[in-house]
A = this chain, B = another copy of it.
């Protein structure tokens, strides 16, 4: 089986490294010649090119490891170059956006399996690619009415081979709803927490693990995340509101010196967080 990876960044590079351990031919595509050079030199891919048209006709599975808009542009430009029966997958964190734009390209020749590997790092680029980020991580597939069970199962198998712990299937709008909570809201919070620093003190002298943990993701790639936020606006706004309502409950308890209510909210979060495996 020949597997193509479009975009050898942090995630694409990690896909390549993780799949290279199996008897697949890994073909890397990137617009940056030096990235292809690095990937070949470090034995991350078997074949590399900056010209996808040269190789797409030969690939059984192609992973688009690109930002949302770039993934759409790639398909618009290259849809006619794919091999017959090729399976195309992606890594985009907002699924309705992508499916709305790409499902029209579904035809007898190619099949899209839309997916979201929930993994990342603050660093970008192939040099930081590392299979460890997939271990213990979640992988989500959002099937559409066009999908065959065979194609879904193949992507699930590849995800498991890459080291993902859980692979689940869920509707695109459900994905976007829960991801607005687990991923986009957490980033919105981290950004706002850091930005609310008054800069009156030398903050670094007064932080512990809690601040470090809550602000790690405040160092954020603004091009990617503004795309993700804007393309999941409806769900993210609802999740921010729900979070603020909870914070207001806590604020009111505090203002009213209501220790019993504060303790109840803390017991609730302890229980709820403990229930998540």
Contacts and interface: CB of A to CB of B under 8 A. Distances in A.
Nearest to A116: B206
Interface in A231-275: 233, 236-237, 239-240, 242-247, 249-251, 254-255, 257, 259, 262-263, 265-270, 272-274
Contacts of A118: 206-208
Given A191-B250, A269-B220, A206 B140 contact: yes
A64 interface: no
A210 B140 CA distance: 16
Given A220-B266, A269-B191, A255 B230 contact: no
Interface of A is mostly: helix
A42 interface: no
B189 A189 contact: yes
- Sort chain A's interface into a size bin: 35 or more
Nearest to A121: B209
A215 interface: yes
Interface string A211-223: 1011111111111
